[in-house]
Amino acid sequence: MEMNTKNGGQAIHKRWLHLVTVLIITLLGISTLLSNTLYGLTLPKVAVQIVGAGQLVQTFKGSAFLKAIEVREVSGQPGWNVTKVLVQEGDIVKKGQVLVQYNNDEALNLLQTEKNTLNKLLLSMEKLEYDYVQAEHNEDKGNILAAKAAVDSLKLDISQQQKRIQDLNAKWIANQSLFAPCDGKVAGINAKEGMPANAGAPDVRILNTQQGYKIDLLIPTSMAESLLLGETIETQLSGPNNRAVSGKITSLVGAGMGNGSTSGTSGGQDDKQSDMTQMTLSFQDASLVGNERVEVAITKKGPSGGMLVSKTAVRSDPTGSFVYAIEERKGPLGNAFHAVRRKVTVLESNEQAAAVEGLFAQESVIVESSEPLLDGSRVRIVE
């Protein structure tokens, strides 16, 4: 009886010991898992992207106001006064059309004075010709030679005076009117009746409509490299006359050539002017009048062969560009994820993405992180 009681007590003791052992092991496991979970919650949170091959699309959008390719500035003769202005700003004019009329009392008086001088010379010629006839009648060779020389000399004086009057008269006629130098549109008038010509500014500014219109835009140099001189680009007029109009590339010039008349945005391009090229588009559409706003959109596909990643994934330091790729490592308590630095070469970029070399398709790269990362840092991936 005592033996059975003793054996029963030992069995109960063993069962309790087993339960306590299991409980301790369970608590240790739970504690370990809980500690690992809590530790995981302290890791930097990262968002990732799967890398894929593709072509980066570059897009440029800009606008500018049409301006005449050639502007002719014309003025009357200095010292001449404006008597009448025959055109208004915005008028369409033809080559040779009178724009402004002038007058100059001094020039008119000088012309009249020279004509009076000519009349006096002509009167003197009558006297000399009479003397010459008398010398021949008297058969006095000395007087004949002297009279002939006087007549010939006066003829030269008369010829010179007539030439002087002719030149003055031509200038008088030419300076009386200001003519349009080409077919065009009056862009500005500074001439005022009663005021001197060219009083510090051109009397009239003419837009040469025969030469057409142009716009200047700063575009990314990487995009300009894919364009050709003479290439036609379809653009859009904005405003009430909204319609398509073709422009031809007439100039592609390096950075720093902008004149403040352009505006535009492009995907992922640095604002530094060293990365920009000035593009000039010329328009020969006869219906254009100038100062219309032209909107330009250019799309270019980059070279194939690169891997596309979000631009936020690409980082840089003095050694170059790099990304943090995700590396999964197995451990006793499950797999852990680590950020591994990978050097890349950026081929092209826009506002959203970058085409790079140095990665493989289907790799995961970090696009956002809650904390700064180091090579090999353990991270927690979140959606």
Q: Does residue 336 lie within any of the structural domains?
A: yes
Give residue 376's region: left, alpha or beta (phi > 0; psi -120 to 50).
Answer: left
Provide the pLDDT for residue 94: 94
In the block, residue with structure tokens 């000088």: 110
**Tally of structural domains, the chain:** 3
Domain extent for 357: 43-57+305-381
Provide the pLDDT for residue 133: 76
Identify whether residues 318 and 343 lie together within a single domain. yes
Pick from 288, 175, 283, 292: nearest CA to 239? 292
What 3-state class would DSSP assign to 336?
strand
The DSSP secondary-structure symbol of 93 reads E
Contacts 24+ apart (CB under 8 A), 242-249: 245/283, 245/285, 245/288, 245/294, 246/283, 246/285, 247/215, 247/281, 247/282, 247/283, 247/294, 247/296, 248/281, 248/282, 248/283, 248/284, 249/279, 249/280, 249/281
Q: Does residue 77 lie within any of the structural domains?
A: yes
Identify whether residues 106 and 169 lie together within a single domain. yes
Tens of pLDDT, residues 294-332:
999 998 887 777 899 999 999 999 999 999 999 988 866
**Dist. CA 149–CA 142, nearest whole Å:** 11
Provide the pLDDT for residue 269: 40
Is the pLDDT at 139 greater than 90? The verdict is no
Q: Does residue 35 lie within any of the structural domains?
A: no
163 neighbors 114 (Cβ within 8 angstroms): no
The DSSP secondary-structure symbol of 196 reads B
CB-count exposure of residue 11 (10 Å: 0-12, 13-18, 19+): exposed
**Dist. CA 56–CA 226, nearest whole Å:** 14
What 3-state class would DSSP assign to 356?
strand
Q: What are phi and psi of 201, to 5 degrees?
A: -155, 155
For residue 312, how many other CB atoms are within 10 A of its CB?
16
Residue where a domain terminates, one of 300, 319, 338: 300
Identify whether residues 103 and 163 lie together within a single domain. yes
- Average pLDDT of the chain to the nearest whole number: 83
**Dist. CA 207–CA 67, nearest whole Å:** 9
Tens of pLDDT, residues 221-258:
878 888 899 999 999 998 887 899 999 999 999 854 44
